[in-house]
Amino acid sequence: MRSYLISLRPPTQAIVTGVLIFLLSPMNSFAIFPISNEPKEQPIAFSHKLHVGQNGIACQYCHLYARRSHSSGIPPVSTCVGCHGPHGQELVQADHPEVDKMRDLWAQEKSIPWIKLHDIPDFVRFPHKQHINADASRFIDGAGNGCDLDADPRSLSCRVMLFRNGGDQRCQSCHGSVQEMEVAYVVDQNFGGMGWCMQCHLQVEGVIERKRAMSTMAGWNNAKENDAHRESQAYLVNKRNYHTPNMLDCYTCHY
Amino acid sequence: MRKGLSRRNLFKFMAVGGTTAVAAGCEQKPEKIIPALVPPVEFEYMPNTGYQYMTTCRECDSGACGMMITAREYRAQKAEGNPNHPLNQGALCALGQASLQTLYNPERHAQPRSGSEVISWEDAQSEFVSLLQQSAGQIVYLGRPTVGSEGAFVDNWLNEVGGGKRIAFSLISRAAEQRACEIAFGRSDLPDYAFENAKLLVNFGADFIETWGHPVQNGRRFADMHAYSDGKKNRCIHIGPHQSLSGARADEWLPANSGTEAMIALAMAHVIHQRDPRYDFLDDYLSPYSPELVASDTGISVDKIKSLAEEFHQNSSLAIAGGAWNNSEQATATQVAVFTLNAVANNLGKTLRFYESEQASEDTSHSQILQLLSDLNAGKIKLLIVDDSNPIHTLPKSLGFDQAMKKAKVVAISAGKNETNQRADLVIPALTAYESWGDANPRPGIFSIQQPVMAPVNVFDARAREDVLIAVAKQINPQAFTEINNYRDYIYELWAQVHQNRYFGPFENFWIETLENGGIFEAPRWSNAVDLQNKVDSVAFQTPLLGGSGLALIPAPSIFHLDGRGANKPWLQETPHPISQIVWDSWVEIHPDTAKKLGIADRSVVELSNSQGSLQATVYLSYTIHRDAVAIPIGQGHTASGIVADGFGVNVLDLIPAKTDAHTGNLALISTKVDVIPTTIKSYTVNLDGNPRQLGRDIAAATTVAALTSEKEDHGGHHRPKEIVEFYPDRSETAGYYKPYRWGMVIDLDRCNGCSACVVACYAENNIPVVGKERAAVGREMSWLRMERYLEGYQDETETRFAPIMCQQCSNAGCEPVCPVYATYHNPEGLNAMIYNRCVGTRYCSNNCIYKARRYNWFDYEFPAPLDQQLNSGITTRAVGVMEKCNFCVHRLTEAKYAARDLGRDVQDGEAVTACQQTCANKAITFGNLADPNSKVSQLAKRKPDVLADPDKENRDRQYEIFPEMNYKPAVTYLRKVNHQEVAGLYGNEHGSAH
Amino acid sequence: MSTKFSGVWGTFEYLDDTTEAIEELRKKGVEPTVLSPCPRHEIDHALGEPQSPLPFISLFFGAIGCTIGYSLPAWTASDWVLPVGGKPVVAITPFTVIGFEMTILHAAIFTLLGLTILIIIESLKNPIPKAAREYLRFQRDRFGIVVRCEASQYQLYEDLLKKYQAEEVYVEKG
Amino acid sequence: MASTTILETVEDSSRSLPFREEIDEHRGHPGIRATTFSYGQINDDMLEMLEKPHPSYFLLVLGFLSALLLGAVSLAIQVDVGIGNSGISHPIAWGFYITDFVFWIGIGHAGTLISAVFYLTRAPWRTAIYRSAEAMTVFAVLTAGLFPLLHTGRPWLAYWLIPYPNERYLWVNFKSPLAWDVFAVTTYMSVSIMFFLLGLVPDMAILRDEAKRRGKILQAKIYAIFAMSWRGTNHQWIHFMRGYLIFAGLATPLVFSVHSIVSWDFAMASIPGWHTTIFAPYFVAGAIFSGLAMVMTVLIPVRVVFRLEDYISNHVINKVCQVILFTSMIVGYAYATEFFIAWYSGSPYERAVFYFRPFGHMATWSLTGDQPVSFPLLAFYLMIFCNVIAPIPLWRKKVRNNLVAVWIICGLINVGMWFERFNIVGSSLQRDFHPYNWGEYWPTLVEVGITIGSFGFFFTLFALFMKALPPMAIMELKEAAEPPMRKGHHEH
């Protein structure tokens, strides 16, 4: 196949490759219109690398609603002022031009007009709270094993591993290694795509069983027995003895 | 707080906002996220999370219902009833639900205005000050009736600024009732009507479900009394020329001639008195009113009156009167007659009660208005302050208010635009009840607090009226209000007194508790010392003479628009009137027989004229009105109340002559006749019902007490097939389905009053757009829940039935299999999931829905600012080309599930509540988990096994589903309305077929 | 047709001349290539009723299409179970429609493809001289017979064609 | 005869003769004079039709194009403003567009019927008209295929109806009749186009050689592509004819299935007036009925303009009219059956709809009194008149031989069949289960514009076809004609 493709002229090659990818690619692998992962210019050159990577500030020190609400929350300006101090009472980085921008805005009682990066469509409800507080032990056995962070940090296994590790690493499973970013950017090209979400959710125990196999062959053969058996595999009730949320119900995210 | 920012100013914090529902691949403009400057205190703010604040509803004049406002991102997004409040107990009426549109109404005043010129607040205040100073002592403050401390405050303020008079103005005044209480019982307050203690309710024309008294409370108490339970059902008789909603809910309607209700009451009293003379002084008083003598005047037969009197006497009973339709020249006499009837039937202290402490309600008599008019015309008044009232629209034109108003300077204090403040010299934009402080004390023992639940809506530069008054008073008189800076301080001090009298412990704790609960609520204590006084014979009833020729004119207060103040709210305009199903318009209700006689076709435009003038409106033929009367709803026909109100319908009050009730000086609304003249004008009146009759299809089904209690076989159950052979097993056998939830609903049609509050609540909860008259005309209204009104029977036997219909969440739904892209499917909790973003818009699902419960976004609908701030940010707002429908408020279910999961358990019964269920005063809607056999909804939906097995016995069970023969298996179970007798139309047993 | 053609070809005005020439040629053990403006059963008859293997191709791919038509809906329906309207997830009855349409579609597409390939193969096997290809009346109203032969047989077949009153006879010397 | 005289003018004398039905039984087909023509004459007659057109042709195309433009502008408005620009609403969520869809699919059916079904049944009169009919099939299906796309609320997402592996893990719902439609219509479109192109191959070879003869090299090259190096060898003919037969065999069940599936769009729904088992045969008969009427509507002017009496003879028209008459009876029977079943079933909902269709409203139950004559009412009577009553004169041979009469009747049938579809789509939705939701439907200018545009689209394509490709199958005409025999005709 490869040699054949090479023998074609480049435009033809591109078309043929495109069509082949379109037809043959496994379902979970691509977004047709990927999200730009170019870093966007922000009003203030805030460095996550400096704050998180070097100074070790926890994610939820600033994004304080992540464990409590749908939205993780953008830190209020007073959080910045808390460490850096306002004009006249400068504390950390007393004369840094970028920090001064923040102090100017504070003096003018204005907020910082950050550019939104991680933007999921409005018809999706993503509760940060439910993910930050999720029980990581509900992953299937072996999910997240075999992660090689050096080779491919954004592979599925690595994302699951980061999620299992919890803490700030759980944030990284979707947002990437923010602690290494000078300017934050979206790491995954299909961030927020439905398949991208589903990749991880299919690693939760019982979900595959529920998605694929839990069909009823109603009226055809031994439907009841088969379904009862399948249901038992789907972990409808979790270890804390209440029903687990159904990650396959469209209404879980879209309403 | 730091930097002078109050926490409520922080609603800039919109972590998720804007509209970005763009298809994949389109280039998106980067969205901005603007964080807060100062973090809100953690427990007070969480993004995307609803917070509840208790306050008081101020929409209607009777009103002091407790409200619970859900605010997200510091924007009020939903109004619900305060569950602690004894009046409404968590429910709200349609007006209360629509109070959000008072708050976010785009037609609110944005700036102070002097004449037609926009001025600054400083200028406005100084102009106000100079006006007050120029006219000290000759000031009149015309405001709404107050139920809290505001009245005293304004009186106080008037004293401080140089003296003046405050007039409480309400068109639908209870002054006559109050005066009658004084005459009959020597009480200065209004009684409590204990519906729930009565077995027979005789209603002499009070529109108790719509506007009379506390409609939410009335509705609940009426449903408690009237609804079928344990094989018994109490009776309600409606007497009067017009049915309306209250009459439609009655078991029997006696179409008495206009204005003669009192004669029937007295005749009944006469019969009872003869049998059981309780008060000797009544002998002479009642003697002219024997049934034989009144029969011809009232149009009610002697036998009927006698048997009714008998029933009234035998049972625990209650007679009520009041509201607009009793506002004739004999209003007080009518009330006295009804009180007398209650007294002779020994109802005092049982169903008609007075509170132990006598709390006088405000004088709302119109004699003050008449005095004001003559004073104005005489030039005795220099400054008229109109606070949140609209006398130009609300008072009959014959009184000439607009001319009289020109004789004085007029200052209008108002949140919204209206006809009166359009003509004012100075307009002061006021805040709504959502944004300002206040309180209410509607009856002894209820102290309801009104607190700001959000910062003032940012597009209007308005201030709280009391704060403006205080500021102005301080400019005029430096000694005024020295203790306080604003009205909050005033309320705070006032409540300190409440605290002192009743409670121990520090006031701060009490204050916080009050704000949390929405007020102080104490159980009422009843007085036993009230009895009928012999003063009653001083009130002689005379048959009112209606002026003019033709048919008696009945101005009917609308359940949505009240006296006109609801007309500028899009939700209330778009929700069809429960009786006529007409939207965005007024109509003339005429009896079909009369119409035939006059040569008037249905839906034609007629001209009504009397000595006062004439107006044109579309005819709505209905058996629910007396043959010699026409009814027109009050509230429409605005000219300067904003685009939603202006130009729709007519103002019937223009035809009312200036006649008054002798005892109170109240305006007589039932005082004229009109000539009805057919015209050839083409009508453009929109009604949303495709057919007023259900053609025997049992959508709103009814049964009788006898059928439910007897063992007789009934062959009415031909709808459900005898045996359902399932081709496939039930969905509950699918793995993972209905575990642990199968959401379901039970709607009790015997409790449903048709008040349509649920419809408005649904609009508010689910970001449903309002489409306007033109689009409603072609069936594009978006309401997910509709109050269907069906008529059964003919002539005086006509029965009106209501059925709230929403998506029935069928197990064997028709909509699902026809969608080519799985945009709708049966979810494991038994909902018909409608996934907007997957929808391509083929509309096949709508075609195949036998309940036609689906709505389609024909356009991208607009929510003009600031109405967009009301949008529920917890759900998607739909774009063009997408189907939508009721989803049992799935976001509320999800929130309930999240909350339960945080507690480590499943959702329990009663935790998941839909918006319609929440606001229903009558508790007609029950929602819950059908998979749980112990839940309330399962209990209610359960059918008797023997009845289920034999369709012939169907009428012996109240539970039914709509169109059972289609086998769609809906998750909504209806409970049949229960009648005392069967009502059969000419085609009652037919199914809408041709023959 | 890279190899140079060697043989004889002639044109005929009349069908009966053509069929008789064909029969004569076939008796001599030659399978001529016949050109005609429209299909004539007389020619087929003279050629000994040859049959096309095309129906088997159609049948085979029709069967494959049928399999796809049933299995695609069945697999997609059970890949993510989204029950609709009380119907079974894998509902054979409605999938029959897809099965039928896919049968027809696959049979049609592969019939056309097979037809093209068969014609190409036959054309390669039985080449026609360039001059005959450029003889424009075969599409209009003339019949033609092309005989591939060695140089030694040119005269034989030229005579034979002329015997049956061929209008023109050409010898293509390879 | 020397090769230089290949294309000398064919004598015209025969054509000026008055039409004679009595043709020698032993030569060609009785009633179709062209079967007595020589191969050369047929060839030249056909090629003459492709000569440079008369200026009036361009005027005609311009007219069709302006109709098309009207449709395009209407469509642009609708997509821009939203589907709400049309008159469809709640509860009538389908209106003109679905009517147009069903109508055009139906028009297409006649072509396949003539080219495939009558090929299998060896109906000799099909030869002259089948190419045009088949072209109509292709164009009608192309036209029809537009409507399901443009009637959706979000046409830019209509590709979601195609089952392709995607990032969302989602597939289409194969239980939906609309998904069936996607498969049925695309299959039908593909097979029709393939069938059409396959039949064209030998004729393209004729055109190629003709262009070559005239020295138009570019034209010849273009035709050569479609001719696919067709030479007319016996090997090619064998495979071709077998392939053609198979295609006819495949297209025959397909043509019946497609309109059945289209009918199931309605019959699978629960709506009274739709939920009927009779729909599949009823729709197929209706499709053939309307399709043949459309063929006649188009070909009668073609016959007159090109003076093709010898090819599209009265015999052919006669036969088509007989089929029209037959299908008219089927359709009429179906109407009657619907009413009978509605009454006989006792279902109140069915009865209500079938009461509504002829009588409009139900004033007896309604307090809202008289309503104006509603659109489906008009549709119902037009349907009955045009489809059942108008074809009755065709029983007389005299009428069948009268071109003007046939043309008028066929035009009426087209109108009637459009309204039949409208009647089915519109009226059932107007009076379904829930009386509260009963509504009225009136189309808007946008819908009318798009409908007119669809006619413009169809006729533009057809007009271009008439001059770009041989409108009759030359190869088959020759096949049907008496072959040139030195020794005269012999029995075979």
Over residues B322-339, the pLDDT tens digits come to: 887 778 888 888 999 999
- Among all residues of chain C, which has the CA nearest to that of D474? C38
Q: Which residues of D touch A26 (CB under 8 A)?
A: 165
Q: Which residues of A touch D164 (CB under 8 A)?
A: 22
Domain boundaries along the sequence of chain D: 30-472
The reply to whether B779 touches chain D by the CB within 8 Å rule is: yes
Rounded CA-CA distance B326/B330 in Å is 8
Q: Are residues B321 and B343 in the same domain?
A: yes
- The alpha-carbon gap from A230 to the nearest alpha carbon of chain B, in Å, equals 7
Q: Are D211 and D219 in contact (CB under 8 A)?
A: yes
Q: What is the DSSP string of D410-479?
A: HHHHHHHHHHHHHIIIIIHHHT-S-GGG-------HHHHHHHHHHHHHHHHHHHHHHHHS-SS-HHHHHH
Q: Are residues B833 and B956 in the same domain?
A: yes
Could you say which of B836, B887, B902 has the minimum Cβ distance to residue A123? B836
Q: Is residue B39 situated within a structural domain?
A: no
Mark D411-437 as b/e (b = at least 16 C-beta within 10 Å): bbbbbbbbbbbbbbbbbbbbbbbbbbb
Q: Are residues B759 and B877 in the same domain?
A: yes
Q: Which residues of B touch C83 (CB under 8 A)?
A: 731, 734, 737, 816, 825-826
**pLDDT score recorded for residue B33:** 67
Rounded CA-CA distance B871/B18 in Å is 11
Range in A202-211, C90-99, D372-381 the model is least confident about: D372-381
Q: Are residues B398 and B461 in the same domain?
A: yes
Structure tokens at D59: 């005027």
Rounded CA-CA distance A203/A231 in Å is 17
**pLDDT score recorded for residue D1:** 35
Rounded CA-CA distance A25/B758 in Å is 50
Q: Is residue B847 situated within a structural domain?
A: yes
| Residue whose entry in the numeric block shows the structure tokens 């004999």 | B330
In angstroms and rounded to an integer, the radius of gyration of the C-alpha atoms of chain C is 25
Helix (H, G, I), strand (E, B) or coil at A129: helix
Fold for the domain defined by D30-472: Formate dehydrogenase/DMSO reductase fold (1.20.1630)
Rounded CA-CA distance A118/B914 in Å is 32
- The alpha-carbon gap from D187 to the nearest alpha carbon of chain A, in Å, equals 19
Q: Tell me what percent of the residues of chain B surpass a pLDDT of 70.
A: 93
Q: Are B884 and B857 in contact (CB under 8 A)?
A: yes
Structure tokens at D7: 């294309």
Rounded CA-CA distance B904/B233 in Å is 43
Residues 6+ apart with CB under 8 A from D144: D100, D101, D102, D103, D104, D105, D107, D108, D185
Structure tokens at D441: 């439907």
Could you say which of A113, A210, A223 has the minimum Cβ distance to residue B733? A223
In angstroms and rounded to an integer, the radius of gyration of the C-alpha atoms of chain A is 23
Instruction: Name the E strands within B818-888.
Output: 824-826, 832-834, 855-856, 883-884
- The alpha-carbon gap from D210 to the nearest alpha carbon of chain B, in Å, equals 49
Select from B265, B269, B322, B260 the least CA-distant residue to B296.
B260
Q: Which parts of C11-169 fold into alpha helices (H)?
A: 15-27, 41-47, 54-79, 92-125, 130-133, 154-163
Q: What is the DSSP string of B342-377?
A: HHHTT-BTTTEEEESS--PPP---THHHHHHHHHHH
Residues 6+ apart with CB under 8 A from D383: D335, D416, D417, D419, D420, D423
**pLDDT score recorded for residue B352:** 92
Going along chain C from its start, the domains and CATH numbers come out as 7-50+126-172 (3.30.70), 54-119 (no CATH)
Look at chain B and report how many structural domains it folds into.
Answer: 4
Q: Which residues of C touch B814 (CB under 8 A)?
A: 85
CATH number at residue B487: 3.40.50.740
Q: Which residues of B touch A111 (CB under 8 A)?
A: 12, 34-37
Burial degree of C21 (CB within 10 A; 0-12, 13-18, 19+): buried
For chain C, report the end-to-end CA distance as a whole number of angstroms. Answer: 13
Could you say which of C51, C115, C126 has the minimum Cβ distance to residue D240? C115
- Among all residues of chain B, which has the CA nearest to that of D362? B994
How high does pLDDT run on average in chain D? 84
Task: Name the strand (E) or helix (H) holding B254.
Answer: strand B252-254
Q: Are D160 and D182 in contact (CB under 8 A)?
A: no
Q: Which residues of D touch B984 (CB under 8 A)?
A: none
Q: What is the ipTM of this complex?
A: 0.88
Q: Are residues B418 and B490 in the same domain?
A: yes
Structure tokens at B541: 């009833």
Average pLDDT over residues B794-818: 90
pLDDT tens for each residue of C68-126: 999 899 888 888 888 888 888 888 889 999 999 999 999 999 999 999 999 888 888 88
Helix (H, G, I), strand (E, B) or coil at B982: coil
Instruction: Name the E strands within B110-230.
Output: 113-114, 117-118, 139-143, 164-168, 192-193, 200-204
Task: Name the strand (E) or helix (H) holding B446.
Answer: strand B446-450
CATH number at residue B263: 3.40.228.10
User: Is the pLDDT reported for residue B11 higher than 70?
Assistant: no
- Among all residues of chain A, which has the CA nearest to that of D171? A27
Range of the structural domain that residue B341 is part of: 175-355
- HEC assignment per residue over B49-92: CCEEEEEECCCCCCCCCEEEEEEECCEEEEEEECCCCCCCCCCC
- List the single best residue of C103, C111, C123, C145 to mutate versus D (max D Cβ within 10 A): C111
Average pLDDT over residues B17-22: 31
The reply to whether B689 touches chain D by the CB within 8 Å rule is: yes
Domain boundary among B495, B519, B543: B519
Rounded CA-CA distance B564/B324 in Å is 14
- The alpha-carbon gap from C92 to the nearest alpha carbon of chain B, in Å, equals 13
Q: Which residues of B touch D151 (CB under 8 A)?
A: 842
pLDDT tens for each residue of D65-78: 999 999 999 988 88
Q: Are residues B815 and B879 in the same domain?
A: yes
Average pLDDT over residues A3-16: 54
pLDDT tens for each residue of B927-974: 999 999 999 999 999 888 777 777 667 667 888 889 888 888 899 999
Q: Are D243 and C119 in contact (CB under 8 A)?
A: no
Q: Are residues B141 and B155 in the same domain?
A: yes
pLDDT tens for each residue of D230-272: 888 888 899 999 999 999 999 999 999 999 999 999 999 989 8
Q: Is residue B875 situated within a structural domain?
A: yes
Q: Are A190 and A30 in contact (CB under 8 A)?
A: yes
Rounded CA-CA distance B702/B697 in Å is 11
**pLDDT score recorded for residue B21:** 32
Q: Is residue B412 situated within a structural domain?
A: yes
Mark B328-345 as b/e (b = at least 16 C-beta within 10 Å): bbbbbbbbbbbbbbbbbb
- Angstrom CA distances, D8 to A200, A216, D435, stand at 79, 75, 74
Q: Are B340 and B261 in contact (CB under 8 A)?
A: no
Q: How crowded is the C-beta side of B647, counted as CA atoms within 13 Å?
A: 6
Q: Which residues pair with B975 in a beta bridge?
A: B748, B959
In angstroms and rounded to an integer, the radius of gyration of the C-alpha atoms of chain D is 25
**pLDDT score recorded for residue D29:** 64
Q: Are residues B734 and B762 in the same domain?
A: yes
Domain boundaries along the sequence of chain A: 206-255
Average pLDDT over residues D48-54: 84
User: Where does the pLDDT of residue B260 fall: very low under 50, low under 70, confident under 90, or very high at 90 and above?
Assistant: confident
Q: Are B968 and B985 in contact (CB under 8 A)?
A: no
Residues 6+ apart with CB under 8 A from B406: none
User: Is the pLDDT reported for residue B59 higher than 50?
Assistant: yes
Subunits that touch chain B (at least 3 Cβ pairs < 8 angstroms)? A, C, D
- The alpha-carbon gap from C105 to the nearest alpha carbon of chain A, in Å, equals 19
Beta-carbon separation of D152 and B859 below 8 A: no
Looking at chain A, the number of H-run helices and the number of E-run strands are 12, 1
pLDDT tens for each residue of D407-432: 999 999 999 999 999 988 888 888 88
Chain C residues interacting with chain A (CB cutoff of 8 angstroms): 77-83, 87-90, 92
Can you state the angle between helices D403-422 and D96-112, rounded to 10 degrees?
Answer: 130
Select from B57, B148, B44, B45 the least CA-distant residue to B103.
B57
Q: Are D309 and D19 in contact (CB under 8 A)?
A: yes
Residues 6+ apart with CB under 8 A from D199: D115, D131, D134, D244, D473
Q: Is residue B33 situated within a structural domain?
A: no
